[in-house]
Amino acid sequence: MQNLVQFPKEAGPIGIFDSGYGGLTIYNEIKNLLPEYDYIYLGDNARTPYGTRSFNIVYEFTRQAVRCLFSQGCQLVILACNTASAKALRSIQQLDLPHLDPNRRVLGIIRPTVECIGEITKSRHVGVLATEGTIKSLSYPLEIRKLFPDIKVTGEACPIWVPLVETNEFASDGADYFVKRHIDNLLARDKDIDTIILGCTHYPILIDKIRKYVPEGITVLTQGAAVAESLQRYLQRHPEMDALCTKGGVSRFFTTESDGKFGNQASLFLNRQIEVETVTLI
């Protein structure tokens, strides 16, 4: 069991965690909305994808990532990964934070994503494209039902989409086949869907291909803006946490894989060169 004294107590950067590159789509929106804060982004690229892994493994890997970010001084960590939010968030909040440090916070991204859905869908039929882990957890239908019991939710797991992004094949011709197949599967199961949630942070990187195969008239919802706005409201509601987040406008990037590889790929998604450090999660 970790003890409380091992983590720095003073204010620190906001931690943003994903299994790989996908959380950069969330980081980008957060950084645009809240540029004054410091951030540490951590991608567990060495062990991605999480979407096909068991509950226990995702929980253990996510817990290691949270500990790593805490040891870097983060008082607030965002799980910018739906799979980790679906499978590990509640256990970390309820079982780990009381031991690690009850004053720190770990937040997920599913709730902020579904909060806006009631205003977007007119047909009240919503589709969710996500990893196998997120779909099987039923987190999206359960969260949506709590807020909007009249909305029917249909999910489709897209297990190959994350590897397409992680292996830099997201723009290749071959990617079209897999992108189209899962969109067609989803829409075949419910013809009244008028809104599709991209419930995996990697998927906005495939957005050009997704838009190509989603029929006109259907809204494709990415999560970044909703998560960023929700974080902004959270910091306004919790000035005590805001005071524990440093504001120097500096971002650092950590990966569990090669720093050079992460730097090249991430620079593409971010449109700028970045410095990257390799870390080991234990």
Residue 195 binds ligand DGL, judged by CB under 6 A:
no
* Binding test (CB under 6 A) with ligand DGL, winner from 45, 62, 72, 83: 83
- 257 is an interface residue for ligand DGL by CB under 6 A: no
**Smallest distance from ligand DGL to CB 17, Å:** 10
Cβ-closest position to ligand DGL: 51
- Considering the complex, what minimum distance in angstroms separates the CB of residue 107 from ligand DGL? 14
Residue 217's region, left for phi above 0, alpha for psi from -120 to 50, else beta, is: left
Contact indicator for 59, 87 with CB cutoff of 8 Å:
yes
Instruction: Please identify, using beta-carbon distances, which residue of 67 and 87 lies nearer to ligand DGL.
Output: 87
Listed ranges 17-25, 62-70, 146-154, 226-234: which one lies at the site for ligand DGL (CB under 6 A)? 17-25
Contact status: 131 vs ligand DGL (CB under 6 A)? yes
Number of residues that bind ligand DGL (CB under 6 A): 17
Site for ligand DGL contains 81 (CB under 6 A): yes
Q: Which residues are catalytic?
A: 81, 200
Strand duo 105-107 + 14-18: pairing? unpaired
Residues 199-218 that bind ligand DGL (CB under 6 A): 200-202
If one asks whether residue 222 binds ligand DGL (CB under 6 A), the answer comes out as no
- Candidate ranges 19-27, 69-77, 137-145, 187-195; the one touching ligand DGL (CB under 6 A): 19-27
Q: Which is nearer to ligand DGL, 128 or 244 (CB)?
A: 128
Nearer to ligand DGL, 7 or 203 (CB): 203
Q: Which of 12, 22, 73, 155 binds ligand DGL (CB under 6 A)?
A: 22
Binding residue for ligand DGL (CB under 6 A) from 34, 40, 92, 162? 162
Residues in contact with ligand DGL, shown as a per-residue x/- string from 23 to 52 under the rule CB under 6 A: -------------------------xxxx-
Q: DSSP letters of the chain? A: ---GGGS--S-BPEEEEESSSTTHHHHHHHHHH-TTS-EEEEE-GGG---TTS-HHHHHHHHHHHHHHHHHTT-SEEEE--HHHHHHTHHHIIIIIHHHH-TT-EEE-SHHHHHHTHHHH-SSSEEEEEE-HHHHHHTHHHHHHHHH-TT-EEEEEE-TTHHHHHHTT-TTSHHHHHHHHHHHHHHHHH-TT--EEEE-STTGGGGHHHHHHHSPTT-EEE-SHHHHHHHHHHHHHH-HHHHTTB--S--EEEEESS-HHHHHHHHHHHHTS---EEE----
- Selected binder of ligand DGL within 62, 75, 82, 230 (CB under 6 A): 82
Q: At what angle do helices 24-33 and 224-237 cross, to 10 degrees?
A: 50
Residues forming the site for ligand DGL (CB under 6 A): 18-20, 22, 48-51, 81-83, 131, 134, 162, 200-202
